[in-house]
Amino acid sequence: MTAETKGERASTELPRGRNGASLESPVPAGSDTFLFDPWDVSWRDDRTAETADQLVENHPVYRLPDGKYVISRYEDVKEILGNHDLYTARPNQEQLIGFPPRLEGDQDPEMLQRLQDLIASIPFDLSEFGNANVIVGVDPPLHTRIRAIVARGFVPRRIRALGDSVNAIVKQCLDGIETASTFEVNEKLAVPVPIRVIGDILGLPVDKHPDLKRWSDVLSASVHGPERGTAGAAANLIGMLMEFAMTFMPLIEARRQEPGDDLISDMVRAEEGDTLTLIEAVLFLIILMGAANETTTSLIGNTITYLMQNPDQLKLVIEDPSLVAQANEEALRLCAPVQFVYRENNVEVELQGVTIPAGSPLICMIHVANRDKRQYPDPHRFDVTRKGHHLAFGHGVHVCLGAHLGRVEANKAIEAIVAHLPDFELDSQVLRLDRSAFTRAFDSIPLTRKTS
């Protein structure tokens, strides 16, 4: 979001970061050598706790060879995300949605030609997308304007009204689980629930819902996967953008003329003379598609995985269903679906004794900050009774707009499945984290019914 195929075991050869440095097991505390690359996914597996502790304790402000600064402590990440006057969100347009795409290093001539041919075939002005305002990459007051417009579709009334719909979708997804010998969590529950919900919210016909998953996967792989920076990834991204735009542009214009009771109608309705442009609306829907899909899928899958790996915590939730919401929050804290976000400091700043020049790219490690022992006792333990704030959905003006919706979906899903989980076993040895550097989820979460 490695030259490995998605889902394969990591090679026995030590992987190398983008700077070419070998990413060996974390160096013992006190050593003067520590190598870290946020884009290398190997640290997230068995070494998550050790690497997070190394960053937080010994390298809270870590300078990468390309001049980016990795920020890891909770207090610093929270301050940066919450202070839009000192820290701009500008870098996120390129880094989070990958547009306009940037090519890195030598390129395959055939792929370059494919990319050029694809660009030439686009039936609209591609430069408009590169110059449009994207909510994740702008600061107030422009961000305030865009968020006020799109927030019309996320009012509490609409989210509450979705509760019955989510319940019905979850029930359908769990149909037959009482007698099933196996249950693949992603295929049966974690993927279809958010896809069907966001498809309904957008007013897409049911036969178009699978396209949302396909487009989201292309976006993730092109921008955050191992092939990012290649002509092939750029071609896939632009192809997805063209297909997405050709689907939603007519729908957006139709809703302007004849509004319905859906998010797009709310979003493009002119109030006090203000609405989104066509391109702004398309780009917001792309961001919404990726966030609503990947984040909620990760949350549902990660919570179930943690519950299965911690039978004592599963028992607590079964005995007290009111703990479901806290179980989801703890999974968000321990396994933030979004690993990091970008900022840039507008002026020279000093963090943890390190002077950071103005205009430096900052990588805010949400996943690591949520494991800072200064903020959380025993930070690597899954504890469904833990209370307290985390940064998984961000902080400040850019806090995730769809966080409440994601929580509703996850809470409904876990409430419905939790009583069935003791009947199944999870083979943790077959769990494989996806190969995206940006997100954190499992490719497959297979459950097998116990035989005795």
pTM of this prediction?
Answer: 0.87
- What is the rounded distance in angstroms from the CA atom of residue 328 to the CA atom of residue 299? 7
The structure tokens 């909770």 sit at: 74
- Strand 340-345 and strand 424-426: pairing? unpaired
For 56-96, write each residue's pLDDT tens digit.
999 999 999 999 999 999 999 999 999 999 999 998 877 76
Helix segments in 88-208, DSSP class H: 92-97, 109-121, 126-131, 142-150, 156-173, 185, 192-202
Contact between 424 and 449 under an 8 Å Cβ cutoff? The reply is: yes
pLDDT of residue 180: 96
pLDDT of residue 260: 83
Pick the closest to residue 332 from 376, 378, 291, 382 (CA basis): 382
- Exposure class string for 6-15: b at 16+ Cβ within 10 A, else e: eeeebeeeeb
Angle between the 192-202 and 278-290 helix axes, to the nearest 10 degrees? Answer: 160
pLDDT of residue 32: 54
Reading the block at residue 103, the tokens are 């090519």
pLDDT of residue 6: 31
- One-letter amino acid at 136 equals V
pLDDT of residue 272: 63
pLDDT mean for each 10 residues of the chain (452 residues): 31 28 36 79 81 95 95 98 96 74 82 87 79 88 91 79 90 96 96 93 88 90 82 90 92 90 82 79 88 89 96 98 97 91 96 96 96 96 94 94 91 98 90 79 92 78
Q: Which domains does the chain have, with CATH numbers?
A: 41-449 (1.10.630.10)
Reading the block at residue 102, the tokens are 């940037």
pLDDT of residue 101: 77
Alpha-carbon distances, residue 309 vs 12, 132, 289, 302, 371 (angstroms): 26, 45, 30, 10, 18
Under DSSP, the state recorded for 379 is T
Pick the closest to residue 193 from 215, 170, 163 (CA basis): 170
For 142-158, write each residue's pLDDT tens digit.
999 999 888 887 877 77
pLDDT of residue 343: 97
Q: Burial, 427: exposed, middle or buried (Cβ in 10 Å; 0-12, 13-18, 19+)? A: exposed
- One-letter amino acid at 217 equals D
